[in-house]
Amino acid sequence: MRLHAAVLALAATVAPVAAVFEDDAYHIDFHHALVGIPKRASTFFQKPYAGSKASLLYSLSANHTLGAINPKDGALVWRQVPPSGLPSATKSSLRAGEDQDTVVSAVGDRITAWSAADGRLVWEHRVPGAIVEDLEILEQEDGITNAEAKDAIILLSGATSVVQRLDGKTGRVKWTYTDSSGDTPSQVSSSPTTIFYVSLHTPLLGGWTKLKITALSPITGRSIEHVTLNSEVDSSDDIIFAGANTAAPLLAWTDKSKKTLKVNIIGTKGVSSFDVPSTEPVTKVVLHAPNRVNSLSHVLVEYQTETGHSAVVYHVDLMKSTISKAYDLPYLSGKGTFTTSTADANVYFTRVTENEITLVSSASHGVLGRWPVQSSPQLAGSYPVHGVAEVAAKDNTASAVRCAVIFSNGEFALVRNGELVWTRPEYLSGAVSAVWTELPETEALAAELQVESHQNVVAAYIHRVRRHVRDLEYFPAWLQSLPQRLLGNLGSKKDDATIEDIQHDTFGYHKLAVLATDTGRLVALDVGAKGKVMWNVDLSKLAPGVHFSRPALRSFPGYVEIKDKNMPGTLYVNATTGNSLTLTDMTLEPHVPVDGKNLIVFDLVDGDLQGFLGVKAGPGPMGLGEPVWTFTPPDHERIVTYTARPTDDPVASIGVVLGDRRVLYKYLNPNLVLVTTALDAARRISIYLLDSASGQLLYAVSHDGVDTSRPLPSTITENWFSYSFTRIASPNAQSRGYELVVGDLFESAIPDDRGPLGPSSNSSSILPVKGDSAKPHVLTQSYHITEEISHMTVTRTKQGITSRELLVTLPSSHSIYGIPRMVIDPRRPVGRDPTANEQAEGLSRYMPAILFDPKWSLNHKYEVFGIQDVITTPSGLESTSLVLAYGFDVFGTRVSPSFAFDSLGKGFNKVQMLLTVAGLFVGVLFVAPLVSRKQINSLWAVAS
C-alpha cells in the first residue's frame, strides 16, 4: 500500500541519522574496560609525576596489557593494549623509577616508556628478533640519584644474551654488553654502584647448572668480575627473586622439592641456606623485598602450602654480608598473601587473608594494625592471590592501609582498612564465547499460553480463568510494590538489579548473557543493568580435571549447556544461579526444533563441507547419519569459514514492496549457508552460497587480489548476506583497501513473481516438486570502506519488523558501528538518480564508498579493545535489539534501528504530563458550573 511505502520512505529518511542519543549514552550501554589479570611484580602504586599528591595503580596483566587505575574508584585512567599477534609465551614486565613521570614496559621485543599520567608514548626501543628477559630501572648511579630521567637496564635473549642500558629520556642505547658464553640469561639486578647480570651456566661436560653473576660497570657496561655461585640450580623457574635497586640486592632460589631456600647477596660469594619452616610440602615460595634504595634491607619469604601459608622475615646485615632470620609470621590455614610497602626507610609487611588484613613492621613482629575484611558477594568463596599495598604509618602506628589484591576468582579489588572500596571484574577479559539465556519463569508463561492456543475456546477460557485465579496469590505483593514502581517510573531508576528485576522486566531489556572465558570461568551478566555480574563460577570446579580451552555454549530455557573439546561429556548449568545441573533434575530441550522435517547435519570433514541425513541415536558422542552431499571447493581452495542462517530469524514480510506497489519476493530458505574459501597462492577468495539441505550451489563469486591472511567476516540473515575482505595493496591493482559486499536474494527478478515454485506453500530441496529446485535471483553491490572489519553480525528483533543494522567491529578504531540496512541495500540505482518510485522506497543513488558516519557508532566515547564476537538478541520491544560485544573488553548496549517507536524516550516528561492532566481536571471543575449556568440562562432569560 501507498501508506506502507510512505512509512518506508519515512523510515528511510530517518534511519541513516539514527545515533546514540546523548541522554541515552552511559545509561543504556555499559563497558567493562578491562586490563586483565594483573601480574605479580608488575603491579604497583606509583605517583604519576614527582610531587603528585595521589598515586595511581599501574598494572601489567597476564595478557600484556598495561593499565593505570585510579585507586579511589577503580576507574581506568589509561591503558595500552599490546600489538596483536604476540606469542602466548611472551614475557613482559613493567617498572617505574621513583619520582619519574614515565613507566617503562617490556613486552616481547619492545621496550616502551609511557607517560605515567596519560599513557602517551614517550619512547620505544625495539630489538627485532630478541626477547626482553628482564627490565630494571637504574635508581642510583655511584650512589647518586639521577633525578632527571632514570635509565633502564634491559636483558635480552636471542642469538646472544645482551644487556643494554637505555637512556631514560630518549630510549637511546647507552652501552651494550654482549654475553657470548651461551649461558641462559636469567635476570638483571643493580646495586647503587654496580649492575649485575645473572645467568645460568651449564658446563659443557655435564654437571650441575650453576648461577653465574657478572658485575657490570653502570657507566661503560664493561664486565668487572664474574662470580659463579657454588650451588646448583635446576632451572630458571627455581629462581624466585633477584631484587634490584636495594642496598643489598638478593638472589634467592630453591631446590626442586622446595625444601631449602638459598639466598645470596648479589656481589658476594656466600650462599645462606634456610630450611623451609613447614612440615607440609610447600607449593610456592615468594620473596618480598622493598624496592627502594634507602629502605631497610629486610625481606619476607612467603611459603604457600596446599592448605595454608606462613612467612619468615629475614634481616640482611650489609656490613657482615650475612642474612639472619628475624621473626616468623605464623602459619595460618587458608589462603593468603603478603605485600611489602615502604614509608621512608621503614618497611612494612601486610598479610592479606580471606577475612583479615594485618600489618607488621619489618623490624619486629608486633602487629601494628588489624582489620577484618568485610565479606562481599563479589569476593565470596575466593582467596587473595597476590597484591600490593600502600601504608600510611607514623611512628610505628599504622593509620591506614590500602591493598590492591587480585583474588582467585579474578576479581581485582581494593581493600582499604578492611573495607572493600572497589572491584574490577578482570576475569572477564579473554571471553571466548557467549550466549543469551532465557530465564525459566518467563518461559513458563509462554508454555501456558501455548497450552491455551492449542485448546478449544471453552477449555482455553477455563484454563485462563484458572491461571488468573492462581495468579491472584501474587496480587497483594504486586499491589504493595505498585507505589514504589510508580515512583521509580517517575524518578530515575536504580541501576542495581537482581534476578527478580529480570523476571519482572516489562521491556525485556534485562537479559542474562553467559560468557565463558579462556581461564575457564563462566560469568552471567545482566546487560540491562549495566553489565552487572549476576554470578561467576569456575568451570574447572564443576568439571574437575578438565582444562577448558574454548567452551562452546548453548542456551536453553533455564539452563546453559557447555561443551568443550577437552571434556568428554556435556555440562549443564542453571541459568539463574550458575549451579551445576544433573540430568536427573532437569528436562532436556531439543537442540533444533525439527517439527517433523528431515534433519540434515553438516560439518567440515577433511576440508570439505559434508551433509549427513539425520542423527544416529545411541549412547556416546553424537553420530551422524548417511552422507547425502559433499561440497568440495574447486582448485583445492581452503574453507575459511561458513555461516548459516540462524535458527531464530523471524521475517515480518516475505517480499519487498516496490515504489509502484509491486512485490519482489524474498528468497527465504532456512537452510542457507555461506561458505568462504580462500586460495592463498592465487590470492583469491570465493563465496559460495549453498542450500545445506541438498548441498546445491545457489550462488558463487570470486574476488582476486585479496589478502587472505586478513579476517574474512561474513554474515547471513533473512534474504541477504554480507561479507568483507581486504584487497592486497599492489601498484597495478584497480582497487585497494577494504571492501564490503552485500547481496540480496529474491525468488525472481520480476516483480509479482514467485519464481518457479509459484505460490506453492511447501518446498523441498532434496525432492523438488517441479524439476530443478529454484535458484534465487541474487543482487549484489560492493562498497569501499575506510576500515577493516573484523567481525560482523546483524541486529535481531522479536518479529523482524524493524529494519536491520549490520553491526561491524572495527578493530583499528576500537569501535563497533551499526550500518543501517538502507545504506547497503543492493538495489540502490547505479549511475543514475533514483526514480520517484525508488525514492519512495528510500533508495538513494549508489556510491562506491561508504564513509562510516560517526552517528552509526554504538560505543561513542568508549574504546572497545579486542572484540572477538558480537551477539545480538531481541528485547521485549519490537524496536529494540540487545547487543553484547565481548573479547578482551565487554561492551553491551541496545540499538533501535528504526528508533524506539514503541516506547517513550527519556525526554518524555511524565511529571509534566500528569500535571497537565491534573490542571485540566481542575479547570473543568471550575468551568463546569459556569457553563451550566450559561446554558440555563440562555433557555430562561428573556432576550432584551
Binding site for another protein (CB under 8 A): 1-6, 552, 554, 591-592, 594-595, 597-603, 611, 615, 622, 624, 642, 644, 647, 651, 653-655, 657-658, 660-663, 668-671, 673, 691-694, 751-752, 757, 759-767
Q: How far is the CB of 833 from another protein (least distance, A)?
A: 22
Task: Work out the angle at residue 523's Cα, subtended by the Cα atoms of residues 520 and 527, and round it to the nearest 5 degrees.
Answer: 150
Min dist. Cβ of residue 942 to another protein (A) = 40
State the Cα–Cα distance between residues 5 and 406, nearest whole angstrom. Answer: 58
For residue 683 the three cell numbers come to 590470492
Contacts 24+ apart (CB under 8 A), 484-492: 489/910, 490/910, 490/911
| C-alpha span between 803 and 819 (Å, rounded) | 11
Assess contact for 91 and 186: CB atoms under 8 A.
no
Which residue, 764 or 835, is less far from another protein as judged by CB? 764
Handedness of CA 759, 765, 769, 772 (dihedral sign): positive
The residue (of 662 and 683) whose beta carbon lies closer to another protein is 662
Shortest Cβ 793–another protein spacing (Å): 16
Chain position carrying cell 523482524: 800
Closer Cβ to another protein, 544 or 620, answer by number: 620
Rounded Cα distance between 747 and 68, Å, is 56
Three-class secondary structure of residue 748 per DSSP: coil
Q: How far apart are CA 213 and CA 744, in angstroms?
A: 69
In the complex, what is the shortest distance from the CB of residue 841 to another protein, in angstroms, rounded to a whole number?
A: 11
Which residue, 444 or 750, is less far from another protein as judged by CB?
A: 750
User: Is-contact 373 418, C-beta < 8 A?
Assistant: yes
What is the total residue count of the chain? 944
CB of 778 to another protein, least distance (A): 18
Q: Which residues contact 217 (CB under 8 A, 6 or more apart)?
A: 194, 195, 223, 224
Give the shortest CB-3-to-another protein separation in angstroms. 7
Shortest distance in whole angstroms from residue 611 CB to another protein: 6
Sequence-ordered list of residues with C-beta below 8 angstroms from that of 293, at least 6 positions apart, any chain: 139, 140, 145, 192, 245, 246, 247
CA atoms of 440 and 448, how far apart (whole Å): 13
CA gap 622, 176 in Å, rounded = 61
Question: Least CB distance from residue 398 to another protein, whole Å?
Answer: 56
Closest distance between another protein and the C-beta of residue 759, in Å?
Answer: 8
- How many other CB atoms sit within 10 Å of the CB of residue 936? 10
DSSP code of 362?
S
Secondary structure (H, E, C), 151-189: CEEEEEECCCEEEEEECCCCCCEEEEEEECCCCEEEEEE
Q: Residue 886 CB, nearest distance to another protein (Å)?
A: 18
| Shortest CB 799 distance to another protein, Å | 13
CB of 26: closest distance to another protein in angstroms? Answer: 36
Q: 506 or 764: whose CB is closer to another protein?
A: 764
Whether residue 319 contacts residue 342, with contact meaning beta carbons closer than 8 Å, is answered with no
CB of 354 to another protein, least distance (A): 40
Q: Which residues pair with 145 in a beta bridge?
A: 140
Q: Which is nearer to another protein, 16 or 751 (CB)?
A: 751
DSSP three-state, residue 542 = helix
Cβ proximity to another protein: between 172 and 597 the closer is: 597
SS3 547: coil
DSSP state of 633: -
The distance of closest approach from Cβ of residue 698 to another protein in the complex, given in angstroms and rounded to an integer, is 13
Comparing CB distances to another protein, the nearer of 471 and 752 is 752
User: Smaller CB distance to another protein: residue 37 or 712?
Assistant: 712
Of residues 547 and 591, the one with the C-beta less far from another protein: 591
Q: Sign (positive/negative) of CA torsion 264, 265, 269, 271? A: negative
Q: Shortest Cβ distance from residue 767 to another protein (Å)?
A: 8
The burial class, CB within 10 Å (0-12 / 13-18 / 19+), for 645 is buried
Among residues 354 and 691, whose Cβ is nearest to another protein?
Answer: 691
Between 242 and 628, CB nearer to another protein: 628
- Residue 122 has a CB neighbour count (10 Å cut-off) of 18
- The interaxial angle of helices 475-490 and 910-940, nearest 10 deg, is 90
Nearer to another protein, 546 or 601 (CB): 601
Grid cell of 741 as nine digits: 559486499
CB of 700 to another protein, least distance (A): 18
DSSP states of 483-522: HHHHHHHHSPPPS---HHHHHT-SS----EEEEEETTSEE
Nearer to another protein, 449 or 601 (CB): 601
Nearer to another protein, 505 or 747 (CB): 747
Amino acid sitting at position 764? S
Contact by Cβ (8 Å): 747, 666 = yes
Between 158 and 670, CB nearer to another protein: 670
Distance CA 358, CA 370 (A): 4
CA proximity to 308, closest of 340, 274, 283: 283
Q: How far is the CB of 452 from another protein (least distance, A)?
A: 23
- Cα 450 off chain centre by: 37
Q: How far is the CB of 547 from another protein (least distance, A)?
A: 20
Q: Which is nearer to another protein, 670 or 876 (CB)?
A: 670
Query: Phi/psi of residue 917, each to 5°?
Result: -60, -45
**Using N-to-C axis directions, what is the helix angle for 457-471 and 440-454, rounded to 10°?**
150
H helices of 343-456, in order, are: 440-454
Q: Which is nearer to another protein, 263 or 774 (CB)?
A: 774
Closest CA to 683 of 746, 733, 625, 608: 733
CA distance 260 to 215: 26
